[in-house]
Amino acid sequence: MVKTISREELQTKLNREDSSVILIDTLPETAYRKHHIPGAINIPSDDIKEVAPKQISNKNAEIVVYCSNANCKRSQRAAERLEELGYNNVWDYHEGRQDWEAANLPIATLNN
């Protein structure tokens, strides 16, 4: 069963001085480029099984996945797939980017 994490818990993890949390935006690249949580990498949920092992070698890494909002199922699917791959410290920020933005927290964009 996928563990969930609240915005406050995620902020605490990201603000730790020794934070090594891997934050994954599971939306398509076009959405990620428009707006994402600062520090997040982009691995769309459909690509997680192929891409994650190439980018994240540590199966014990602290990983948080998110998508756009609580109605979006991409982050849950990505978390389940990561667990199937043997990652054992996976969290789903189920409320997603819209919750982050609603709290007036920083959002990053990529040009091009």
The pTM score is: 0.95
Query: Per-residue pLDDT tens for 21-37?
Result: 999 999 999 999 999 99
Query: Per-residue pLDDT tens for 80-92?
Result: 999 999 999 999 9
Domains of the chain, first to last = 3-102 (3.40.250.10)
Helix (H) or strand (E) run with residue 102 in it = helix 96-102
Query: Per-residue pLDDT tens for 35-88?
Result: 999 999 999 999 999 999 999 999 999 999 999 999 999 999 999 999 999 999
Altogether, the residues listed in the chain come to a count of 112
**Judging by beta carbons within 10 Å of its beta carbon (0-12, 13-18, 19+), is residue 64 exposed, middle or buried?**
buried
Backbone angles phi, psi at 36, to 5 degrees: -150, 165
